[in-house]
Structure 1
Amino acid sequence: MDSRHARVIHEFARWEERGDHPSAGSEDAALLLDLLHRHFGHTDPAELRPGDLAEVLLEVFPQDLRAVLIDDSATVVPTVRALLAFLAETGRLSDEQAAGFTREVDEIESEFLDTMRATADWPPVRVMVDRMIADGVDLADPDGVQEWLDARGGADDRGPLERLPPVRLPDTANLAAAARGSELLAAARELGLWVGERRPVTESDELTAEDAAEAGRLTGATGSDLALLWVVAEAAEFIDFDDYDATARTGSLAADWPPGDDAAALRQWQRGLAQLLADPLGLGSAEDLPFAFTTTGMTAMVALLSGRSDGIPRSLLAQLLAAEELGEHPTRQAREDWAAWTAAHGDPAAVTLDRLARHGAVELVGDHARLTPLGTWAMREELRHEGIDIPLLPPVEQMSAHELVDAAESLTDDELTAERVAWLACRDAGAAAADLLQVAAEGTAAQRVFAVSVVNEVDAEAHWRQVAETLSLRPYAKAALGEDPDDFDAAWLVTDQLAASWSPVDPTPVVDCFNDVVPADLQLSLLNELWRLPHPELIQALEAIGTAHPVKEVAKAARKAAFKAANSARS
């Protein structure tokens, strides 16, 4: 920080102590002055100009990694007001200037809080910042932050799709039956049949205004819906064009849809999906668009594939697609343009999901969306062409214990129940228990929790005694054999549960699990000791609690424990 700003902050802190000035403290004021200096070059509060505070608070402050550490963003604007009062009282600003700047922050307070909450709603940011701090990174040093990010990126350059667990898909006949049920293809075929032998089109192979109105009455689709049907009909060969006289005619495959051949049905369905992903909003050749929307469809499908059988919240997908178009540091104008676009044309995520659902690629369940088996098959085929293979689960009688445990990550509860019942039914109980316990001993917490739950369905006392001294299985063995766990065992069981709940996207499940298994009056004392546990997944569980626990004292204790555990691991 500039030395003159440091002097101001020192005096401000003493001024706060002497009076009743509600604020978040001098740390937030120091961050504000530092950002004003970095963004505008201001070294003296007298250099402030109208609009400076609003620009920094709305466009710079929320993007600074140090802002992520603020426990309560609602105290930031009161800090600014107090700082302005201090600057006026000490003669660094006139009363008139201070009053004007105060009105400025009053006007943007609500928008600032919304922006900060949106940042806080993306939990991995907080987890990343906590890890930076644990590694000794100066968050105010852009070069140091970038070096840290580059180092972590270089450690494993594989995308998340390359590490997806295996899936079980219906057979080809069932997939083809689902493809034949596409509402989008049915409507596109109806449009193709309506075109007939010869219908004039524009130079860009689009319907004339008069024919578009008639087609809309036929299909019930207008605007971008009709535009999408038109290009899907072309992709599925329900429409052909004659480039010599600018006419369209019913395509060669329209009469035969749906075909009896399964492979043919799937090919046509894939053509429709490819067109849908290329232009899910039906924008066609529209020009002067405020946003590109070139990756909207594929971004949605990749996100849904990552969500697997549980899917993802529709609201989260809306955030992802907005971030794709707005970039990492959107300006106020960009945010206003996005709001205007969505108000006029609908939220791109909602429109995309609705059309994918009509094609049979996506299923909408409450406030979540997930891929159908047909959609999963299509994405697997697409990724195979990109050199990324998502394994298929083998027949249950050929499935190993490891493959069964891996399947737990990708199947719904009902599917997994059916899988484990069938798996146990076709093998010796003792052999099954031995294989599962080996996976549990070597696997992650999530794998261990699931494997143990399956072992507990069979008589495995002899096998539990054999693993009673294995560190990761000892607590489970004691429970299975009716023995009382000691403090270490209890801590390990809790940590396994927390780690099994962990997600790189959302820390809430870990917090919920922590609150469920640890009484509120014991949480602080447990966190004060838990960092000593030699559990390989402890740190990420503690970071999740430190990021999202609603009780500040507990969150702070978790962050402190994560820091101590990281230091202990390095030493």
Structure 2
Amino acid sequence: MSAEPHPSLPPVRLHSDAELARDALVAPLFARAVRLARWAGPATRVDTGGELVADQLPEAASVLGLDAADPDSTAYAAQAWRVAVDSGLVDVTEPEEDAGEAGEPQFGTAAPGEDLAVVAGGTPADVLDLWLAAVDTVLADAAVPDLEDLVDALDEGGEIDFDQLDWNPRREADFLDGVLANLYLLTVAEGGAADAPVPLPVLAASMVVPEGMGEPTDAVLEQVSDAMMRLDDQFRQLEPIGLVEFRPVDEELMAEAEEPPAAGAASPTDEEDVSRYGMVRLTPLGLYGVRARMLEAGVEAPAVGELADKGADALLDAVAVYPESAAQAEIEQWMAGREPAAAVAELLAAARGDDEGAPLRRLRCQQALATAGPEAEPSVRGVLDDAELGGLARVWLAERGAAEVPAPDPAMVFWLTVDTIAAQLAADGETQELPLLMETLTAHHSGFFEQVWRVEHPATAYVLEAMGRLHPDKKAAKEARKAAFKARSRRPWPGSPS
């Protein structure tokens, strides 16, 4: 995958390798390639490039249970054979150019490849590697223009006129990679498509409409329409290998578009009408496959669970920028493989710090502690006197009704307030919920702003500036701005606007 539209992506939840390998083995095109690999033998004849000779295609189609007299069936057989050869399921020996008498056709031979044994006896990871090789072949085929376009572009000598065709192989491959990357992002993003299909016009527009454009021009809409039809053909080719589930564009749609709308016709925004323009979703296997290609291209595409064997410092740094649900899933997997008391002690140690990312690390640490049981209490009590963790520890103990929880002193209360707001700003920015949180945290402390600016927290001025903008009480907001002015000279927060 050469396209790199997203340098960092939200983490994806993948099925296990065993589940994915089972999906790969039953993907129609891959299953056909395996059957043809088992069929290959001494009587199998191939042309230059390893393609089956034309008169063997009907037999190959019959092996696959297809109608040998149907041209589409022989095309399916040819594609499955190509996948088998390219993925190593079949070994071919091409014909020698100087063999045989002049004018006598020469053929190469084929036999099951060593990798065919992986299908029955390999690990799930081995099977997935074979499937990924098959995907490469299918994607390369999908990037080739329609056969009718190729015929139209033949010059007088029977050669393809690439200038007339306007086909650039690298550009076409990059376009398809970009489409899959966008579909992946729409699937994994918080609040994105998840398991829901994506309308083809949405996906086409994501590749064509310039970012920030308001109402698309007629020229841009025409480009979107062209991209839709292009994707319709490509997704039809990608579905049999198991990458996507696809509902094609309604073939009657174009004819209807040329007719005036009937009275009372459905609005184009109706769900059923939108689906007629095509719907596509990545399968669980497709998510795995697109992510694998992204990783190969150097794109950061994390997966939930890959931090399970890392330290608590790596966990908190990574999940600090994850969407909340993905962070929770990652934390639960990390905790599940560890002795609870030791895991909590490691998390608390990793949550310390006065760097810019520390408040959000502590927020994620608190999220992790929420999954811990009573066995974590000794470790939590061990940080009650810690200036950075004491407030967090008291909250955890109080929520569980623990006995003998010492009341925090005012300095700790103010410090925890600043730390909490700084973490929320880092996690989600200036959300609609943040003003309510600010009001709640300040409502129970008379003279809050007269004291909070003295808090020895690196984010004090930054937080007060945000409160001055967002606090729902105008008087309190004014007091926050005054307090921010006093605090700003003490220690400006690295995250504050310059």
Q: Normalization by structure 1: what TM-score?
A: 0.45
Highest RCO, 1 vs 2 (Cα 8 Å, sep ≥ 6): 2
Q: Which has the higher helix share?
A: 1
Q: Normalization by structure 2: what TM-score?
A: 0.50
